[in-house]
């Protein structure tokens, strides 16, 4: 299941917001007061929505970050104080490696009775803007340089953690860490005191199943060469090594497996649904080829309905005849059955 449902994503709004200045040294830390009422909420809601694909984590026991967020959830009066504690803890874990920026804490409404929380490290951006006077005549623009700015580009949000507390204790966390998109930076993991819910090994297996299910549903719409050996192609691509699944950039995998697929092709919707059903659609991970286990039992099926089952390594030879037909040659130690077939076999792919 995704961290947020489609309805919850559409309903995101900001209840409360605050940020604190962080940087490379302890002196860079500047603790600020809550911005009340929240300002420029449309801008920041869009920024949160732009980062809604991430890896699923859960809090470890006695996580300090969890305890501080629970304090905020249970007592509205400590929002500023506990967010300052969160920023201080973040600074302590990151000060030697983090760039100058701010640490945001948002309380978000997602259409339910219980809010969720967003922790965002936003990098400062060096920006030069120009100003023009309200005049129709010739003029020289005035330039101003700013360093403490928030910009739209996704790279400015270096780290984002969306937190949904569970009743009593624990909770789920969706993390998007741009310095380590396939997992999470060591120091951010220490700050959250969290562990990943789904291992890349499990996700690799689920990814292969999602592609296989999609192939079975859309085999007839694919090019002939892919129709003939699509499942084998899935295994060959995923077992090559060096592949990363990124839901924001999965086009290379789709093309390698299915060939060129039109933007509005039904196959894309099916694949998105299969990935979502298997809990893969929002995760980024390095595919482990060793977990993509190719079945040893293979099958050749002819247009006339003849089926040949064989183990890898015992593949029959296929020869093209002059009239365009193909000849399959099976070399065997001996024939063990030559009878009417009374066994029921599935005709799946």
Tokens of 59: 């809090």
pLDDT of residue 346: 55
Place of tokens 């580009």: 153
Q: What share of the chain is helix, strand, coil (3-state, %, to 5)?
A: 35, 25, 40
Query: In angstroms, rounded to a whole number, what is the distance separating the alpha carbons of residues 263 and 223?
Result: 16
For 207-231, what is each residue's pLDDT tens digit? 999 999 999 999 999 998 898 888 8
pLDDT of residue 130: 76
Place of tokens 């996700």: 203
* CA-based nearest residue to 273, from 223, 204, 219, 213: 213
| Contact residues for 327 (Cβ-Cβ < 8 A; gap 6+) | 318, 319, 320, 321
Query: In angstroms, rounded to a whole number, what is the distance separating the alpha carbons of residues 348 and 334?
Result: 28
* CA-based nearest residue to 312, from 329, 288, 296, 292: 296
Query: In angstroms, rounded to a whole number, what is the distance separating the alpha carbons of residues 257 and 272?
Result: 15
Tokens of 122: 């936003």
Question: Do the bridges between strand 157-165 and strand 116-123 make them parallel or antiparallel, or are there none, so unpaired?
Answer: antiparallel
pLDDT of residue 146: 67
pLDDT of residue 147: 66
Alpha helices in 95-223 (DSSP H): 186-192, 200-218
pLDDT of residue 148: 65
Tokens of 117: 């929380």
| Contact residues for 200 (Cβ-Cβ < 8 A; gap 6+) | 182, 285, 286, 287, 288
* CA-based nearest residue to 157, from 47, 56, 246: 47
For 7-65, what is each residue's pLDDT tens digit? 999 999 999 999 999 988 888 899 999 999 999 999 999 989 888 888 999 999 999 99
Query: In angstroms, rounded to a whole number, what is the distance separating the alpha carbons of residues 348 and 102?
Result: 55
Report DSSP letters for 91-124, one per residue: HHHHTTTPPSEEEEEEEEE-SSSS-EEEEEEEE-
| Contact residues for 316 (Cβ-Cβ < 8 A; gap 6+) | 300, 308, 310, 328, 329, 330, 331
Question: Do the bridges between strand 171-177 and strand 297-301 make them parallel or antiparallel, or are there none, so unpaired?
Answer: unpaired
Q: Judge residue 26's burial from the number of C-beta atoms within 10 Å of its C-beta, 0-12 exposed, 13-18 middle, 19 or more buried.
A: exposed
Cβ 155 vs Cβ 51: under 8 Å? no
pLDDT of residue 197: 92
Other C-beta atoms lying within 10 Å of the C-beta of residue 163: 26
**For the chain, which residues score pLDDT lower than 70?**
1, 95-98, 126, 145-149, 152, 154, 295-297, 312, 338-349
| Contact residues for 232 (Cβ-Cβ < 8 A; gap 6+) | 294, 298
Query: In angstroms, rounded to a whole number, what is the distance separating the alpha carbons of residues 56 and 176?
Result: 9
* CA-based nearest residue to 235, from 294, 319, 163: 294
pLDDT of residue 343: 67
């Amino acid at each position: 299941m995704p961290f947020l449902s489609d309805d919850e994503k559409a309903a995101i709004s900001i209840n409360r917001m605050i940020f604190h200045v962080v940087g490379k040294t302890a002196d860079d830390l500047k603790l600020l007061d809550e911005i009340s009422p929240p300002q420029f909420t449309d801008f920041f809601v869009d920024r949160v929505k732009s980062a809604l694909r991430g890896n699923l984590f859960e809090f470890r026991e006695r996580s300090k970050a969890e305890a501080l967020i629970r304090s905020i959830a249970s007592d509205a009066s400590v929002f500023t104080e506990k967010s300052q504690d969160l920023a201080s803890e973040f600074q302590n874990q990151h000060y030697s490696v983090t760039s100058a920026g701010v640490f945001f804490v948002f309380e978000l409404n997602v259409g339910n009775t219980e809010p969720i929380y967003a922790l965002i490290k936003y990098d400062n951006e060096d920006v030069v803007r120009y100003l023009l006077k309200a005049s129709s005549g010739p003029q020289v623009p005035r330039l101003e340089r700013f360093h403490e700015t928030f910009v739209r580009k996704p790279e400015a949000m270096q780290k984002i953690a969306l937190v949904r507390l569970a009743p009593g204790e624990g909770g789920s966390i969706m993390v998007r860490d741009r310095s380590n998109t396939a997992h999470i930076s060591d120091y951010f993991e220490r700050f959250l005191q969290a562990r990943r819910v789904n291992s890349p090994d499990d996700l690799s297996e689920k990814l292969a199943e999602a592609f296989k299910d999609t192939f079975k549903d859309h085999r007839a719409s694919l090019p002939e060469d892919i129709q003939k050996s699509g499942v084998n192609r899935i295994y060959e691509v995923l077992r090559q090594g060096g592949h990363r699944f990124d839901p924001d950039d999965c086009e290379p995998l789709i093309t390698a497996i299915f060939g060129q697929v039109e933007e509005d092709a039904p196959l894309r919707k099916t694949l998105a649904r299969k990935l979502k059903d298997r809990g893969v659609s929002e995760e980024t991970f390095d595919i482990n080829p060793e977990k993509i286990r190719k079945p040893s039992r293979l099958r050749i099926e002819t247009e006339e309905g003849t089926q040949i089952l064989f183990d890898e390594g015992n593949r029959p030879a296929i020869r093209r005849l002059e009239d365009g037909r193909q000849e399959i040659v099976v070399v065997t130690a001996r024939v063990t059955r030559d009878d009417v077939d009374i066994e029921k076999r599935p005709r799946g792919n």
